[in-house]
Structure 1
């Protein structure tokens, strides 16, 4: 990030990161589909999601003010954290003020589609911060916290602040691509596409796993129990599902 900018006056820059992941699994029978949903609900219940978000909050240097969490029936969970950063920080003879109430939320959506025998687990995480905090530094942690086959990310900066000379700043940190904030080792595992609107400080990145290992997508099934043609059919179904989610449209 380099040396921090010296700012003056009221800082109302709002930085919003939307992090959306999909974990895809092949579950052929109704029993496998139910077992997969139960597994996801157990692995990513509200308690564990709370732990992920509190760690994220600590990483960006914020403080948790309040936690609301809920598990749902028949499946899914939600967690919301109200967070705050320091405000009214003294700088020489000047007081730097900024909005200090922000939030972090996560929602899960386990589901399955019996026609293609594909089960999908979706996670939406939204981080909205104010002032000097930026949530982009948490991307490696978020990607590593979930089995991420497809990832879509949106980052938007709104409002403005001023430097010590009074000049308005609509960005207080350099951003050309969300990918710049992701570890290169992680990026090498994915195909990635950017769609950025620089004039609006709007950045969008999509990522899809390059070389999926079929065994990782078989729920309670050993790959060597399946004949080669069946393996090929399953892999084709999985890739079609991933490609359509990655592109956000029906292709096949």
Structure 2
């Protein structure tokens, strides 16, 4: 039975829900890819560490950021301790999907029971993390999505009409081609149960860019994993620049067709 729909946070600083002690202690690793996010990382790290989740660990996956994000992450990891925060340094920028796959594989290998994808730019609401975990534990879902497009979800007012329309079109486009009923198949705020990630086989995921989000959810559905969407308010970044470029956009357009073709073989 799907969880009761809950209104999104009124503000990004809304208070996080409290979970029972044994649920709050669940080994949960937040995987956060970074590339030139020195302006955003400190606030995100501090907000995550302040959550009432003693089992939470932050894994920053840095692609050799020229602005020193990797060094800054190491500084914060030293402050919070290795049991709460770690850094995975990669040789260079290979795309968001590759960074997520590397970080998620490391999290599973290190013993995480749940793995959360989360952007470093502040667009995903930190206060929603306990709720996502609570929904996952109470329903047994393999994937719990922080969704912009279920009832109660919303987008930043900073997004113009064209950007909002494009985002909705991208979700409808991928969902229609792949025949899924996931409302936010392109979203990147996703909580994965450890065995769901093992079933997907991260090493075989093809997507390098944002289409990683679509490919992962489609693979989960094909392997019988249950997916639940929880409404969130999605904020716009205030510091730094988006990593979206033409090549990433072209991959996102082509990937649903590639996935559909493979599923027929």
TM-score (norm 2): 0.24
Structure with the higher fraction of residues in strand conformation: 1
Please say which structure displays the higher CA radius of gyration. Answer: 1
TM-score (norm 1): 0.25
Structure with the higher fraction of residues in helix conformation: 2
